[in-house]
Amino acid sequence: VLPPSFAYGGMENPCLTFATPTLLTGDKSNADVIAHEIAHSWTGNLVSNSTFEHFWLNEGFTVFTERKIKGRMKGEAVRHFTAILRWKELEETVNKVFSPTHPYTKLVPDLAGVDPDDAFSRIPYEKGSTFLWYLEDTVGGAALFEPFLKAYYTEFAYKSIDTDTFKSYFLKHFADIPAVSSIDWDTWLHQPGMPPYKPKFDTSLAQVCWQLAAQWQAWDSAGADCPFHGNEMKSLSPTQVQEFLASLLTGTVLPSAKMDKIEMLYGFSQASNCEILFLWLRLGLKSRWEPAVKATLDFLGTMGRGKFVRPLYRDLASWQEKKGEVVIFFQENKNKLMAGIVTGVSKDLGIS
């Protein structure tokens, strides 16, 4: 476990994974990051991408494998539920961080003359893993696709390859599957935007989260008694709490009175799980809930994980009345961050 300034969830150094301390939440809910780094032993370390333009060969494969591990351990419904949660992150990346036509939303972007850090996002992770999910469905399911993956790792062990190499091997392996001819490789690999296919997710674990979020959205906090009692979170897993908050975050802006009530009942500002705290802070900033500003700055002063740091600084900067305070805070605290994060946040804040 590295110091809090470590910029990544994990880093798959062979035989020695580096991990952020933000994973240590006491509820084991972030163990999927460890599964991710273990999966990198095959997808990234054994078979590597030749350049960062083909980064999805590392990360898309690893996310796909990580969730396979989760499905084996906890059931397919859990695998699907994790993908549902991260689908929202992909939508935000495509539609807000970049745009649906931005070249960095291509699975195989052109990075000639580009700092790869500028293009780093959820795209190779989530769009890449979705492509593999689609390929598995297309060829006939896991019973055919998983043996292919093993053969692929054996074929290209200790080599660095590009996407065309993967494509050629895939087409050769599945030459007898008629459905393979329907794959639109150009759209998947070279066109920007969301994937042209969304898996038919099992939503059984998500329904309760969506229903509770809809009930909170519908409650008239100005004129009706509060129908919630504070025990609603007790029956939810940490990941389901995340989906509840993520659903509120993608919904309409909540009034401050409603934010006050959620905090009073559930105490999200004191959450020890950084994934939950992160989503709660983002919801507060979107709602222009004043207590979220100090709570966010306090959180930003404790760690340097890019997944949390950059979105929170972007959210803070979008609150124009707070931007000056945020810039001063960043200037005073940037020495706690790794260089790549400092560069990224500087761009997000529009400062040199």
| Residues taking part in catalysis | 37, 125
Instruction: List strand residue ranges (DSSP E) for the chain, in order.
Output: 10-11, 18-19, 47-49, 159-161
In terms of DSSP bridges, do strands 159-161 and 10-11 run parallel, antiparallel, or are they unpaired?
Answer: unpaired
Q: Give bridge partners of residue 48 from the DSSP assignment.
A: 160
Closest CA to 37 of 9, 71, 72: 9
SS (H, E, C) 234-271: HHCCHHHHHHHHHHHHCCCCCCHHHHHHHHHHHCHHHC
Cα–Cα distance measured from residue 68 to residue 150, given in angstroms and rounded to the nearest whole number:
13
Contact, 173 vs 179, CB < 8 A?
no
Cα–Cα distance measured from residue 298 to residue 293, given in angstroms and rounded to the nearest whole number:
9
Contact, 286 vs 315, CB < 8 A?
yes
Closest CA to 70 of 127, 28, 128, 42: 28
Cα–Cα distance measured from residue 74 to residue 239, given in angstroms and rounded to the nearest whole number:
13
Cα–Cα distance measured from residue 290 to residue 270, given in angstroms and rounded to the nearest whole number:
16
- Residue that the structure tokens 């997710």 belong to: 201
Cα–Cα distance measured from residue 114 to residue 78, given in angstroms and rounded to the nearest whole number:
37
Residue 126 DSSP class: I
Give the phi and the psi of residue 18 in degrees, each rounded to 5.
-90, 140
Cα–Cα distance measured from residue 315 to residue 299, given in angstroms and rounded to the nearest whole number:
14
Cα–Cα distance measured from residue 173 to residue 164, given in angstroms and rounded to the nearest whole number:
14
Residue 319 DSSP class: S
